């Protein structure tokens, strides 16, 4: 659906200029942003496909965190499929070529990815809290069945929270340079919904994550002297979860802060000078790029800190596949060939032993 109403906030997830303020052009940043989008798409798509393949190979694993990691990779992968469209739009000065349907759907996928990611990270932190702090009392909650149910609930909530985006996103005609952009409309209901969802889907989960990991850190610190092998493994998994959550917060927190400021300015809740509005506009443009980069960060964290993932990843490489094929072919030789090689090596070893024995006798005689 297209409209010629005045856009005010966030086309391509960047702030649109206030008509009463003259903002400096950021054309110099366009090439940088497009390059980052392309790199994120290539690295992220490859990495998250590898994560899904490796996690599927661990189907018999009882680790709940593997279920959440798989769904987190799926959320990132679906989002990354929309990234080439945002890259093309950015390269064309935010001109949207792909129609109103894809404008709504791509925007919907972005917000669903953000909501589902923070909710899955929250579940991962709760799982670590239950496993280490409440292990004796609530261990029954850490079954694979509960993890699958929790994942389904997260997807339902994320899809529901993203639905208003389908109403607020439109194709908007910019009259003064005759181009269509994918933009949000400036309405009170949109502002209220944005502020509410920022609290429900970011601030509140972030508080839960902080509480869970703080409790886990205190528990591990108190028992660090008598830590067993199993507890050391838990500590490694906590390190992985900590890095994933840290990178997510560093990626999305600046965007959420500036987006909240933008909504307050657009709704006239706070007054801001043109310089402040320009700073917010440019900040959202750059920090949107940073937020999108988070979709390729998790596979890198697994590769660096998870030994099992690293070993599985190298086994999937073509050179490793060729090496395994050679090993398999050598073990599948006919029995006669293997017996000939065995006899040959046996006679060589026997001959070497005899020569060594003769040499030692000659040395003793001397």
| Contact (Cβ atoms closer than 8 angstroms) between residue 78 and residue 111 | no
Assess if residue 327 is contained within a domain: no
Per residue in 44-72, pLDDT (tens digit) is: 999 999 999 998 887 666 677 888 999 99
pLDDT of residue 354: 47
Residue 345 forms part of a structural domain: no
The pLDDT confidence band at residue 160, using thresholds 50, 70 and 90, is very high
Is 143 a domain residue?
yes
| Residue 24 domain flag | yes
* Whether pLDDT at 2 is above 60: no
Q: Is residue 332 part of a domain?
A: no
Domain residues for the domain of 297 are 2-320
Residue 21 phi, psi (nearest 5): -120, 140
> In CATH, what number is assigned to the domain containing residue 121?
1.20.1070.10
Q: Has residue 209 been placed in a domain?
A: yes
| Average pLDDT value for residue range 82-102 | 90
In sequence order, the 6+-apart residues with CB closer than 8 A to the CB of 19 are: 6
DSSP string across 24-56 = PP-HHHHHHHHHHHHHHHHHHHHHHHHHHHHHH
Q: Would you say residue 290 lies in a domain?
A: yes
Q: Per mean pLDDT, which range of 120-129, 161-170, 185-194 is the poorest?
A: 185-194
Please check whether residue 326 lies inside any domain of the structure.
no
For the entire predicted model, the pTM comes to 0.77
Name the domain count of the chain: 1
Between 243 and 236, where is the model more confident? 243
């Amino acid at each position: 659906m297209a409209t010629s109403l005045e856009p005010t906030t966030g086309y391509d997830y960047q702030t649109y200029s206030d008509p009463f303020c003259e903002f400096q052009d950021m054309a110099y940043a366009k090439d940088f942003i497009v390059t980052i989008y392309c790199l994120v798409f290539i690295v992220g798509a490859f990495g998250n496909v590898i994560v899904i393949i490796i996690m599927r190979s661990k189907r018999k694993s009882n680790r709940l965190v593997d279920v959440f990691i798989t769904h987190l990779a799926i959320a990132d992968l679906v989002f990354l499929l929309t990234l080439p469209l945002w890259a093309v739009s950015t390269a064309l000065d935010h001109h949207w070529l792909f129609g109103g349907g894809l404008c709504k759907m791509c925007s919907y996928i972005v917000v669903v990815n953000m909501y589902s990611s923070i909710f899955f990270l929250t579940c991962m932190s709760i799982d670590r809290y239950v496993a280490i702090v409440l292990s004796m009392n609530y261990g029954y909650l850490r079954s694979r069945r509960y993890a699958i149910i929790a994942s389904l609930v997260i997807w339902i909530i994320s899809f529901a929270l993203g639905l208003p985006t389908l109403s607020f996103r439109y194709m908007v005609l910019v009259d003064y340079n005759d181009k269509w952009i994918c933009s949000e409309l400036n309405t009170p209901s949109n502002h209220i919904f944005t502020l509410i969802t920022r609290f429900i889907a970011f601030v509140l989960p972030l508080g839960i994550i902080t509480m869970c990991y703080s409790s886990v850190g205190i528990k591990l610190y108190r028992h660090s002297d008598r830590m067993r092998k199993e507890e050391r493994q838990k500590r490694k998994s906590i390190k992985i979860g900590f890095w994933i959550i840290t990178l997510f917060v560093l990626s999305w927190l600046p965007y959420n802060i500036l987006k909240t400021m933008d909504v307050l300015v657009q709704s006239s809740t706070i007054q801001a000078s043109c310089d402040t509005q320009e700073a917010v506009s440019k900040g959202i443009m750059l920090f949107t790029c940073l937020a999108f980069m988070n979709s390729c960060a998790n596979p890198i964290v697994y590769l660096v800190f998870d030994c099992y993932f690293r070993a599985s990843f190298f086994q999937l490489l073509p050179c490793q596949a060729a090496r395994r094929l050679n090993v398999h072919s050598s073990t599948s030789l006919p029995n006669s060939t293997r017996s000939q090689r065995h006899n040959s090596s046996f006679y060589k070893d026997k001959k070497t032993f005899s020569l060594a024995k003769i040499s030692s006798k000659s040395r003793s005689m001397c």
